[in-house]
Every structure is written in structure tokens, then in C-alpha cells.
């Protein structure tokens, strides 16, 4: 069984991405992955869309089921791993996140749309590509109305500052070196147009690993700048972000000074190198001995809202290792946990009152040849259209250099684009 394929020019369609977004909305399961034309090192695709689930893989053994799928099939899979996927059930003491995403969920899509420059490639098992293209072309963009949504912190500021002090005490006692601590802001009984909200979020904060992703009633509106893990041939590549500083887009000189400030920040370099070492260790478990290298350390990259410090780690994957071994060795990603990983994940469960769910997890795709690319789910809105629950989480890396008030302000900075979209 093969998909019908056809390429189309979209040079005369200025709104074709928005039209595709609107076209996939009725599907119960879909994924819209967009890099917003960032031409960064290790670029994969401009925009990749999947809609309609012919087959679903989920549950506690999702990684093993993916490996089993590729023993007999050569096809695309799209989906996610939630942060808690690798956490044993008997350790899960926090409240389950109400957004409603599965611990892991992958689907074999009926329809795939690949955008490269001004060309759109449509592949479909069940439909004629011409018919799909004509439907998309006929769509008129609906400008949805955005309401003002006031989110409440699950943890008030005083409690947050006290928790950061507790975590600093753990660091001083040698329990850990760095820990990523997150807090949630939420609203209930919310009517939301997910597509319009996603469009607004990515207009305000376009980022290279953005996605609109839907698992039945659960919607993820993600403006992530971070890649978790990419496989291309034998190479595994991870690009953790640690180090964030605001931008000043109204003053070029001041913006450059802020960029230099991040470049020279001992606190951020300390945070970044600890995660780099953790990722090197993770990859060493599945890569050829001696092949794991740091190809870029402390790279500074500028995004619409912030400057970020990004490092790149590579290794040569051993041929006997599949998704089961990769997930076991490296998930959840070090940039969202800290070091040492096992202990900080225990502390996260102790001090964060609610599970993270798909936040701090990864959304991405696997190609028929088993190459893949996954983001880190940050800078995201989570929404369930059945329970009407809306949520976003933000966090920062706590090290011995951390000041609780500054960590709180970093969280607010990371939430700036989301709060802007929500009308605050």
C-alpha cells in the first residue's frame, strides 16, 4: 500500500500555511510542525503536516511498539512522549495533568503535507492529492476572536521563592548540581479557538520547533525554540538550551549588550555545561564508544522574545539500538530535568504539585527509514476542548548561582508571549 503523491506550487497562495492549519482542524488527530523559515544549522524541514490516524501506537510500551512497527513497516509516524513516560507508576505521586494527553501517543497518518519553499507535496492513502489541494485552496481564513484569559498560578510567588530556597539547600548539601523547576498557570471553563490562538502565538513568537498538535480533545499550541533529539543516518544530535536573557528590539546597541551579557554569564554557562555533560552521558549509552562529541558549546542564538544559549552534542548510534534504547537512555531530556537526572527527577516530583504531562516532553516525527526529529515542548499552551481546561508551564534551571527572585522573573519572561496571546 502506497500513498498517492503530487507536488503543487503555492507561490500564488500567500496564506497557504494558514489554509492548511484550518484544513486539518476537523481531524481528531493531527500534527503541524513548522520551523518558521529559520535556516539554522542541522535544519530538517520547513513545514511538515500529518492528519488522520490509520493506526495508533500508545501505552506504557510505546517505544518498543515503535521498534516492532518498523520491523514490518516502512512508513511515517507522528506523535509525542510526555515527560512522565519513563516514570514508573508506583513513583507517580503528583496530580495527573488535566490537559488529557497520553503518556505517549503515535499515529500512522492518512495524509502528509510537506512544505519546502513554495512547493507543497501532498501524500494520501485515501484521497486524491488534487482534491485535497483544491479543498485547501478554497479555504478562506477565519479571523477568530481572542478573548482575554486570566490564568492563575498553581503556586503563589511566596511559595515559589521558598521552594527555590529549598532546592538551593539541596544543591548546597550535594543532592544535585542543577535542577529545572517548573510552575503552572491555569484557567478553567475556557472556550478557546485553538487554531486562532496558535496562529497568534506563533505570529508573536515564531520559533524553529513550533507545532500545533492534537490528540483527540487535547490540543498543544507550541512555540518552542528547542530541539531534543534528531537522528539522521547513524548520527544522533541533541541541542539543549540553557541560558535565557530578554531582548530589547527597540535599541540595537542595548540588544547587543544583552547578547554579550548572556555570552559572558557564569551562571548560564554553568547551567549549560552541566546539561551538556548530562547529554553526553545519555548518548554514550547508545552510541559508539568515543564518538560522542560537543560540536558547539555556548552558542548564542536570538529569537523574537529572547537570546538563548544552545550547545550541540553528537554521537554515532550503534546499529543494534532502536527507540526503546534511545528513550531509556535519554528521556526525559536533560535540559528539562537537571543533574544528576535520577535525583533531580525525584526532587521534581517532590516539589512540583502537578505532573507536567506533554510539557517538558517531545513532539516530532519518524520517517520510513527511521530517521527522526523531536522538539522539546516548552513555550506552550495546553488546552482540552472537552474539560475546558487551559494551562501553561514555565521553568528555569536552578544552580548554586541562582537568585530566587531572578528565577521567578525568568519564568515571567518566558511566559511573556503566552500572556500576550491570552490578552494580558
User: Phi then psi for 25, rounded to 5 degrees?
Assistant: -55, -40
- 37: alpha, beta or left, given left = phi > 0 and alpha = psi -120 to 50? left
How far, in Å, are 52, 78, 176 from residue 111 at the CA level? 6, 11, 46
Could you list the beta-strand ranges (E) of 188-255. Answer: 209-215, 218-224, 227-232, 235-239, 241-246
- 223 CB contacts (<8 Å, ≥6 apart)? 201, 202, 205, 206, 207, 210, 379, 380, 417
Report whether 166 contacts 158 (CB < 8 A): no
The catalytic site residues sit at 226, 242
Reduced to 3 states (helix: H, G, I; strand: E, B; else coil), residue 226 is coil
Per DSSP, the residues of 298-363 read EEEEE-SSEEEEEEEEEEEB-TT--HHHHHHHH-S-GGGTEESHHHHHHHHHHH-SB--TTTTSEE
Rg (CA), the chain: 21
- 37 CB contacts (<8 Å, ≥6 apart)? 46
Number of alpha helices (DSSP H) and beta strands (DSSP E) in the chain? 11, 20
Distance CA 76, CA 106 (A): 10
Report whether 141 contacts 20 (CB < 8 A): no
Task: Quote the cell numbers at residue 303.
Answer: 529569537
Amino acid at each position: 500500500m502506497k500513498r498517492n503523491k503530487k507536488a503543487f506550487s503555492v507561490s500564488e497562495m500567500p496564506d497557504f500555511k494558514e489554509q492548511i492549519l484550518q484544513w486539518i482542524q476537523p481531524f481528531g488527530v493531527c500534527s503541524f510542525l513548522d520551523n518558521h523559515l529559520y535556516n539554522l544549522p542541522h535544519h530538517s524541514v520547513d513545514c511538515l503536516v500529518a492528519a488522520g490516524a490509520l493506526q495508533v501506537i500508545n501505552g506504557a510500551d510505546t517505544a518498543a511498539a515503535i521498534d516492532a512497527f518498523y520491523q514490518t513497516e516502512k512508513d511515517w509516524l507522528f506523535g509525542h512522549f510526555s515527560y512522565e513516560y519513563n516514570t514508573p507508576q508506583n513513583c507517580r505521586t503528583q496530580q495527573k495533568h488535566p490537559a488529557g494527553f497520553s503518556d505517549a501517543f503515535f499515529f500512522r497518518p492518512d495524509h502528509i503535507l510537506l512544505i519546502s519553499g513554495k512547493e507543497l507535496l501532498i501524500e494520501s492513502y485515501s484521497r486524491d492529492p488534487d482534491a485535497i489541494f483544491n479543498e485547501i485552496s478554497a479555504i478562506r481564513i477565519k479571523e477568530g476572536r481572542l478573548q482575554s484569559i486570566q490564568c492563575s498560578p498553581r503556586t503563589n510567588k511566596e511559595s515559589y521563592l521558598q521552594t527555590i530556597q529549598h532546592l538551593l539547600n539541596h544543591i548546597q548539601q550535594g543532592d544535585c548540581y542543577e535542577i529545572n523547576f517548573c510552575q503552572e498557570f491555569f484557567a478553567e471553563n475556557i472556550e478557546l479557538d485553538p487554531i486562532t490562538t496558535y496562529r497568534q502565538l506563533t505570529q508573536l513568537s515564531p520559533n524553529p520547533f513550533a507545532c500545533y498538535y492534537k490528540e483527540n480533545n487535547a490540543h498543544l499550541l507550541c512555540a518552542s525554540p528547542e530541539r531534543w533529539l534528531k537522528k539522521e543516518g547513524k548520527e544522533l544530535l541533541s541541542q539543549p538550551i540553557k541560558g535565557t536573557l530578554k531582548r530589547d528590539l527597540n535599541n540595537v546597541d542595548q540588544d547587543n549588550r544583552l547578547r554579550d551579557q548572556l555570552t559572558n554569564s557564569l551562571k548560564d554557562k554553568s547551567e549549560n555545561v552541566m546539561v551538556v555533560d548530562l547529554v553526553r552521558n545519555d548518548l554514550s549509552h547508545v552510541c559508539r564508544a568515543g564518538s560522542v562529541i560537543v560540536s558547539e558549546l555556548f552558542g548564542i542564538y536570538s529569537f523574537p522574545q529572547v537570546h538563548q544559549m544552545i550547545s550541540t552534542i553528537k554521537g554515532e548510534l550503534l546499529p543494534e539500538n532502536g527507540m526503546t534504547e534511545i528513550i531509556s537512555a535519554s528521556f526525559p531530556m536533560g535540559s528539562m530535568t537537571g543533574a544528576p537526572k535520577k535525583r533531580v527527577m525525584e526532587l521534581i516530583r517532590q516539589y512540583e504539585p502537578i505532573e507536567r504531562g506533554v510539557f517538558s516532553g517531545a513532539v516530532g516525527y519518524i520517517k520510513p527509514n527511521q530517521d527522526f526529529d523531536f522538539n522539546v515542548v516548552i513555550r506552550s499552551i495546553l488546552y482540552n476542548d472537552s474539560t475546558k481546561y487551559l494551562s501553561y508551564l514555565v521553568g528555569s534551571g536552578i544552580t548554586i548561582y541562582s537568585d530566587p527572585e531572578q528565577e521567578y522573573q525568568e519564568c515571567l519572561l518566558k511566559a511573556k508571549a503566552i500572556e500576550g496571546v491570552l490578552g494580558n
